[in-house]
Amino acid sequence: MDFTYTEDQLLFQDSVREFLVNEVTCEKIRELWDTDTGRSDELWGQLAELGLTGMTVPEDFGGLGMNEVDFVLLAQECGYVALPNNLTETVLVAVPLLASLSNDTFKSEWLPKIAEGSAKVAVGLEQNLLVEDAHVADVLIMQKGSALYAVDPAKATIEFNASVDLSRRLYSVVFNEAEADLLVEGSEADSLIAKSVNRGALASAAQAIGLTKRMIDISVQYTSERNQFGKPIGSFQAVKHRMANVAVQLEYAKAPVAFAAYAIANDLSTVDKNVSHAKSVACEASLTGAKNSIQVHGAMGYTFEVDLHIFMKKAWALNNTWGDQAFHKARVAEAIFADSDKIGAGCTFL
């Protein structure tokens, strides 16, 4: 399997990285914590101008008509800056879910607005107990059993739940089916829900890649500047090895994440295994990155004032979002121990 990205994909990644690094600073993130919504409409508008909100919106509805492979690199850049909104879930979960509905009227109403950045949608599935950004959504797509409903936030009870990551705004949502619009039910809904869970897991895995890279960069900078015994502490092998271990895990996580994006975009029969593999190894890398970064920072690593905690707390949160380690490792185990599964180097690397 050739995972080489095209020149256009890499150029787009570079331009998005430059924008995010300049605009989404740690200072800006801290400022948003103290606002009522924790969100910036100005930033959302800028993301829309870059075409990010419409990347997976079909061209017939005013979008770019791209897929998961096109966006996965950009999701990593969102993780690198700990982007304080739900862009990745909008692009990878909400939009593909809406685009797959047979209700053309509903799609025609919302997809163009999402693409232009004038409307926001949040998805609440039973896989996650809480819904991110429900407080700023113009419409909620909610699961209840084997059915999906379009819910007007004004007609639902939305209650804030604090997260370890202050940038994540999570809400419990209670609604009455009689006051909501039924979008799909039965086996069709079950299929869409399963695909949405995989896309959500991919969004978390891709962000975990970016978070891990950022924690490495922060730690390398800190250990290069902090001196002990007349030398930068980063020159000591004990410190080098901790960060090298993180870098190794990061490199080994990149290919599974790329493969998971490909599997979703091409609807491979092995998609559940591919996504769970990616989610598990990417989040494990970010957890190791958080732990080792705290350690090389010494006592400073635990303080609120150090920017490291912005990224390590998001890594902790994403590890348990869209399926925790137990859920995804169980799916991998079920797949590879099945009698019909073909495993080994000759089958794994095509």
Domain-by-domain residue ranges, the chain? 188-342
Which residue, 163, 155, 152, is CA-closest to 128? 163
Q: How far from the centroid of its chain's Cα atoms is residue 348's Cα?
A: 25
> What's residue 224's pLDDT?
62
pLDDT of residue 229: 58
Strand 139-143 vs strand 121-124: parallel, antiparallel, or unpaired? parallel
pLDDT of residue 244: 87
10-residue stretch averages of pLDDT, the chain, 350 residues long: 82 96 96 96 97 96 95 98 97 97 93 96 95 97 97 96 95 96 96 97 98 92 63 58 88 96 95 97 96 82 86 96 96 87 64
pTM over 0.85: yes
Kindly tell me the burial class for residue 11, based on how many C-beta atoms sit within 10 Å of its own C-beta (0-12, 13-18, 19 or more).
exposed
Could you please report the per-residue DSSP string of 188-200? HHHHHHHHHHHHH
Q: Which fold has domain 188-342?
A: Butyryl-CoA Dehydrogenase, subunit A; domain 3 (1.20.140)
Q: Give the DSSP letter of residue 48.
A: H
